[in-house]
């Protein structure tokens, strides 16, 4: 077995893994994909990525259903993300309203639940 960092030129080899929906959205300058291979086949992988992560979307209940606040927020978030050099933004949805907004802006749903893991040295 061999363990290595998968170069971007080989990322398409992740098509059969849990990373299949994700790797196309990642910035190679901010991503390391660790793989374990046996006989030239990937038998394990884990994606380490630095991403722009947006959370805590909230709109006052009196302004929900009126597109002006969401549209203004989204325009400002996109402008800031572009200024930071981001290719994509990660987020989560906790209710159907947010899921609807994410569908409207063309978000790709990833599988699984998201967690925060402490790194101990």
Confidence band for 82, pLDDT divided at 50, 70 and 90: very high
Percent of the chain residues past pLDDT 90, beyond the cut: 55
Q: What's the confidence (pLDDT) of residue 114?
A: 81
Tell me 67's DSSP state: H
In the sheet where 41-49 sits, what is the strand order? Answer: 2-5, 31-38, 41-49
42 HSE (CA, 13 A, CB side): 21
Report the mean per-residue pLDDT for the chain. Answer: 91
pLDDT at 21 over 90: no
Strand, coil or helix: 36? strand
Give the pTM. 0.69
84-113 pLDDT tens trace: 988 889 998 888 988 988 998 899 888 888
């Amino acid at each position: 077995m061999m363990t290595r960092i998968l170069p971007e030129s080989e990322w398409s080899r992740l098509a059969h893994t849990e990373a299949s929906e994700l790797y196309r959205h990642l910035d190679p300058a901010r991503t390391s994909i660790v793989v374990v291979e046996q006989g030239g086949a990937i038998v394990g992988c884990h994606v380490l990525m630095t991403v722009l992560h947006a959370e805590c979307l909230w709109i006052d209940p009196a302004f929900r259903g009126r597109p002006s606040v969401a549209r203004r927020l989204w325009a400002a978030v996109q402008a800031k993300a572009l200024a930071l050099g981001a290719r994509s933004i990660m987020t989560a949805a906790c209710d159907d309203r947010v899921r609807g907004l994410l569908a409207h802006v063309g978000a790709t749903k990833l599988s699984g639940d998201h967690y925060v893991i402490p790194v101990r040295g």
